[in-house]
Amino acid sequence: MRQFAVITGILALSSGAFAADPQLMNLVMPGVKVLAGANVTSARISPLGQFLLVKIQASGQLQQITAATGVDPLQDVTEILAATTADPAAPGGLVMLRGTFKVDQILAHIQAGQVQIQGDAKIVTIKGEKDKPAMALAFLGTSIALAGDAISVNAAIARSTGANAIDPKLAVQVNALGAANDIWVVSAAGVSSLLPAPAGEMLKNVLGISGGLKFGTQIQGQVEIVADTAKNAESLGDVARLVVSLAAMNPPKEPQMVQLLGLLQTLQITTKGTAVDLALTVPETKFEGLLTKN
């Protein structure tokens, strides 16, 4: 599992932003409920991307991964897509990457699984510990990588030779969010099923949520929460405003938390029909301040 964790570390270090690549979308399971994406290329050249790049390089983690696998996540990976059915009874999901991969070198680094070949795909499966499901890492040629539970990965490989589609409404949201943002997420699943009991109960009236971040000299973020009724949407908006007000009444002492509170007080909260929209614009330099310890 340690070797698999090293490789999947590529996914975490690479996540900077995404546009909905048709070939990656074709691998997504038909019953998908939650999708998230990133366009690494556009994020990398943004001011925040350059700031984070310096921090990552200083940590030494990037050099370790590159030396072991021959992959520089911030240069060789261009797009990322993650997907899950958000079904608590059958947990699982996929992370898919578009890029340039030295497949043989990567697979040689993984010593905990046997490589299988299915058509153009090379797959390594690693048995889960105790009651954990088996995990898999696979490559379609040298330009697409997949990671996740073994069942989801193998199903995606089987889909790769056909033409597939997800729910049309969800597909429209994905295309719109991917075109407007560097990082985005959309969920057509009830939020309560994804959270622990207390928080889930509070959000049982939420039918879906979507949002994204656009990097630049100003970082723009927006979230849309869809409730089951207009009345519940109005209540959610009121709760969000109350949370911000209560935070202002009890200001924190830590400098970074003070900065965060100041930014939250500029949060725009509007309600329209069954939707609650949250919007925030943050100067990139202030965002850097939140990530820098004083």
Domain termination residue (choose one: 133, 159, 185): 159
Do 88 and 174 belong together in one domain? no
* 107 and 190, same domain (yes or no): no
Q: Are residues 249 and 108 in the same domain?
A: no
- Claim to verify: residue 206 and residue 285 sit in the same structural domain: yes
Domain count within the chain: 2
Predicted confidence at residue 55, as pLDDT, reads 80
pLDDT tens, residue by residue, 122-133? 999 888 777 788
Residue 87's contacts (CB-CB under 8 Å, 6 or more residues apart) are 31, 33
Mean pLDDT along residues 214-219: 92
pLDDT greater than 50 at residue 163: yes
Residues 153 and 174 both lie in one domain: no
* 126 and 236 share one domain: no
What is the tens place of the pLDDT at every residue in 93-105? 999 999 999 888 8
- Report the chain's mean pLDDT, rounded to a whole number: 83
CA 256 to chain centre: 24
Is the domain of 99 the same as that of 187? no
The pTM of this model reads: 0.82
As a whole number, mean pLDDT of residues 20-39 equals 91
Let me know whether 210 and 75 are in one domain.
no
Residue 174 and residue 116 share a domain: no
Average pLDDT over residues 46-54: 85
Distance of CA 221 to the CA centre of its chain: 15
Let me know whether 146 and 176 are in one domain.
no
> What interhelical angle do 230-249 and 255-264 show, nearest 10?
140
Residues 155 and 173 grouped into a single domain: no
What is the per-residue pLDDT for 80? 92
Residue after which a domain boundary falls, among 130, 159, 188: 159
Band the pLDDT of 201: cuts 50, 70, 90. Answer: low
Q: What average pLDDT score do residues 278-288 get?
A: 89
**Banded pLDDT at 141 (limits 50, 70, 90):** very high
Name the band, by pLDDT with cuts 50, 70 and 90, for residue 12: very low
Lowest mean pLDDT of 3-7, 26-30, 189-193, name the range.
3-7
Q: Which of 112, 138, 159 is the last residue of a domain?
A: 159
- If asked whether residues 16 and 142 sit together in one domain, one would say yes
Domain that holds residue 252: 168-290
